[in-house]
Amino acid sequence: MKIELWHIGYTVAMILLAFVVALLVTKTIGRYISKSKETEEES
């Protein structure tokens, strides 16, 4: 039972970590896209 709980906790932690990373990547890509769009409009 202890091992199962640890495994579930580890899985949940990995899912949360992946979610946070995906969120950060999306924000970074969004910023990069808006920046490149701005530079294209300026030139």
Which tens digits make up the pLDDT trace of 16-28?
999 999 999 999 9
How many residues belong to the chain? 43
Query: HSE of 12 in the Cβ direction (CA atoms, 13 Å)?
Result: 6
Residue 43 lies in a domain: no
Query: Does this model's pTM top 0.85?
Result: no
Q: Is 11 within the bounds of a domain? A: yes
- Domain presence at residue 14: yes
Q: Is the dihedral of CA 30, 36, 39, 43 positive or negative?
A: negative
8 falls within a domain? yes
Question: Can you read off the two tokens belonging to residue 21?
Answer: 């990373």
Residue 42 lies in a domain: no
pLDDT reading at 43 higher than 70: no
pLDDT of residue 1: 66
Range of the domain at 32: 1-37
The pLDDT assigned to 2 comes to 79
